[in-house]
Homo-oligomer: A and B are copies of this chain.
Amino acid sequence: MKIGFLGLGNMGAAIAPNLIKAGHDVSVWNRSPDKAAALVAKGATHALTPGEASKAEVVFTMLADDAAVEGVADDILANLTDGGIHISLSTISVALAEKLTQAHADKGQHFVSAPVFGRPAAAADAKLFIAAAGETEAMDRVMPLLNAIGQKVEVFGDTPSAANLVKLAGNFLIISVTESLGEAMALVAKGGANNTKFLDFLTSTLFGSLIYKNYGALIASQTFEPAGFAAVLGAKDMRLVGAAADGLTVPMPLADLLRDRLARLVAEGNGHLDLTALSALAFKDAGLK
């Protein structure tokens, strides 16, 4: 199948090769064109503009934020084949997903939201977890493509934005873990108990999942570089959660707390740190260190 792929950051550059491996004809585009060379070496075509890459049956976008997706939306709409499908893999707002759904429908095209969970290494191994939603007919057509890049695809109905909401809710849960561990460990540390021992105890008993182990270890050692998931991106996600909650009239006090914590990190000039750095605020506010 002729496929366009827009966005070759850490995630996009790891995902696109799995589509090539699956036998597709993939045309890649990136704002900084130097990222394309590695993909061309793996069999991709280098498109010089978003519009050129979008002359395809399916176009994937894996871009940094709403603005980046909006920046290429008109090119996709103008060039995607009749009946073509735009699959958005990145974390975008519910509102933008709704807008794109309408815009593609107006052109006789389709929009599918398929935001992914996983880090670049998982993407390279086609081990992503994907929350997807879109019209049944479009979903049927794209399912083989999603299965080529992920280990699990869960379909959340025929309204694309539902998948974006699920992704945002999932990121909210992930960031919540950081806040709860941060406060718990600040309390334990200031009380004189050992946090590594506390973490070992917790993760060998009730909190066995990887996220508690991995994030807990970073928080226990207060080590936030290099960033696996930069705070500034977490801040963006929490703003999107807030916008979705505002739009649906859902009060979310814990989400507010996380948004404020991350905004503070960014405002203080620490947005480049890993998002577990928000635990450092609980430590600092307790006068630790």
Contacts and interface: CB of A to CB of B under 8 A. Distances in A.
Contacts of A251: 259-261, 263-264, 267, 282, 285-286
Contact of A287 (B173, B198, B253, B268): B268
B264 A285 contact: yes
B165 A193 contact: yes
Nearest to A181: B173
A1 to B, nearest CB: 27
Interface string A161-183: 11101101110111011011101
A254 interface: yes
B166 A173 contact: no
Given A201-B129, A209-B207, A256-B253, A239 B246 contact: yes
Interface in A113-152: 117, 129, 131, 133, 152
A32 interface: no
Interface of A is mostly: helix
Interface string A191-215: 1111001101110111111111000
Contacts of A204: 129, 152
B188 A169 contact: yes
A40 to B, nearest CB: 32
Contacts of A207: 173, 209, 211
A186 B152 contact: no
B193 A166 contact: yes
